Amino acid sequence: MPMLEQLETPALLLDEARMDRNIERMRNRVRRLGVSFRPHVKTNKCMDVARRMMETPEGPITVSTLLEAEYFAARGVKDILYAVCIAPNKLDHVAALQDKGVRLSLLVDNVETARLLAAWAKVRGCRADVLVEVDSDGHRSGVKPDSAALLEIGRYLEGAGVPVKGVLTHAGSSYDCRSVEAIRAMAEQERAGAVHAAGRLREAGIECPVVSVGSTPTALFAENLAGVTELRAGVFVFFDLVMAGLGACRLDDIALSVLATVIGHRPDKGWTLLDAGWMAMSRDRGTASQPVDQRYGLVCDLDGHPIDDLLLLEANQEHGIMGHRSRKIEGALHLPVGTQVRILPNHACATAAQYGQHKVLGPGREVVATWQRISGW
């Protein structure tokens, strides 16, 4: 097994012990909350990681693309929720997955899509497990829990012979919270919205067995999930600077980092040049809107400890400019050419997506495995 120092840079590092601890923490939450767990695999896109998150080898899981569904299905996962409203041009792909024995749940948030889906199911003579997406926080898609559209979609589907499996909501606004109290309130809003929507469908005679909620922050801080049947979360497996900024994890819970090398200095500017730019980190600057802006990433030593408030201040495609958070010149230039550093990312989903593999770090800087990831659609 090679040591960390022997890797060519940039490289995506995954600290196995931290990851396992993060998974254990979520498992304990799920147990305490008394719901089932449907991990979102969009952050890792990797069977080696997902296997440790799943309740059984057959799932359930949540995916963000049909390529993820295909990849995980080929590795034995049977119960998959595609958590983006279905587009008509994806239905042939859905059918191909069903033909392979996947129980693929689909999402709708409007009658137009429900109609296209029902027509397709009828022509193909196949079933579709459909959830109605509910908007609990105004951040994206879904119908409001108390809208007429919710019942309209539910009734249309039932009438067309497509059973409504349940409702789903995602409180993405939790990422913008500024305190644990605010996340807790958002978790309750997410729960209440989904449960209210399910209740209205049931009152209308639509069974709606599943009530699915989740985001990493709300999953970690929800106080109770009464009425909810299923929790989803994904980024918790790696965590990142945005999550640390929210108070959802500590810096030393972040399991993902980018290994980079010092390639030069600009003493006149207080800059140290690294061979990791936005291609290695992604352009995600999620902490820019948080109280502490970590620019393109927080720089750590090879053991994962932050170095003197050094940040990746700027990023070109393959060049990163490291300097002191204050942009002071003095004392910011002490790492010689060839020094390797680890950079904690703003957003694990975005940074990891730039790589085809995770280099898995065991104890003592040893690279114990290489885990492939998929990308694309």
Binding site for a copy of itself (CB under 8 A): 6-11, 42, 64-66, 84-90, 92-93, 109-110, 112-113, 116, 135, 138, 140-141, 172, 261-266, 269, 273, 275, 278-280, 282-285, 316-319, 321, 336-338, 340, 349-350, 353-357, 375-377
Cβ proximity to a copy of itself: between 33 and 114 the closer is 114
Q: How far is the CB of 110 from a copy of itself (least distance, A)?
A: 5
Cβ proximity to a copy of itself: between 225 and 276 the closer is 276
As a whole number of angstroms, the longest Cα–Cα distance in the chain is: 72
Q: How far is the CB of 49 from a copy of itself (least distance, A)?
A: 17
Tokens for 141, please give them: 């898609």
Tokens for 239, please give them: 């965590």
Chain centroid to Cα 324, Å, comes to: 29
Cβ proximity to a copy of itself: between 80 and 225 the closer is 80
Q: How far is the CB of 38 from a copy of itself (least distance, A)?
A: 17
Q: How far is the CB of 128 from a copy of itself (least distance, A)?
A: 16
Cβ proximity to a copy of itself: between 28 and 375 the closer is 375
Q: β-strand 340-344 against 298-300: which pairing, if any? A: antiparallel
Q: Is 61 exposed, middle or buried (0-12, 13-18, 19+ CB in 10 A)?
A: buried
Q: Is residue 345 a contact partner of residue 355, using CB atoms and an 8 Å limit?
A: no
Cβ proximity to a copy of itself: between 174 and 229 the closer is 174
Cβ proximity to a copy of itself: between 185 and 263 the closer is 263
Reduced to 3 states, what is the DSSP secondary structure of residue 324?
strand
Q: How far is the CB of 376 from a copy of itself (least distance, A)?
A: 5
Supply angle C-alpha 84, 88, 89, rounded to 5.
Answer: 95
- Report the 10 Å Cβ neighbour count for 57: 10
Tokens for 15, please give them: 């600290």
Q: CA dist 59 to 52, 251, 370, Å?
A: 11, 30, 23
Cα–Cα distance for residue pair 245/289, rounded to 1 Å: 10
Cβ proximity to a copy of itself: between 180 and 279 the closer is 279
Q: How far is the CB of 271 from a copy of itself (least distance, A)?
A: 8
Cβ proximity to a copy of itself: between 15 and 275 the closer is 275
Chain centroid to Cα 317, Å, comes to: 24
Whether the ω angle into residue 60 lies within 30 degrees of 0, i.e. cis, is: yes
Cα–Cα distance for residue pair 300/94, rounded to 1 Å: 43
The DSSP-derived string for 98-147 is HHTT-EEEEEE-SHHHHHHHHHHHHHHT---EEEEEB-SSSSSSSB-TT-
Q: How far is the CB of 61 from a copy of itself (least distance, A)?
A: 15
Q: How far is the CB of 321 from a copy of itself (least distance, A)?
A: 7
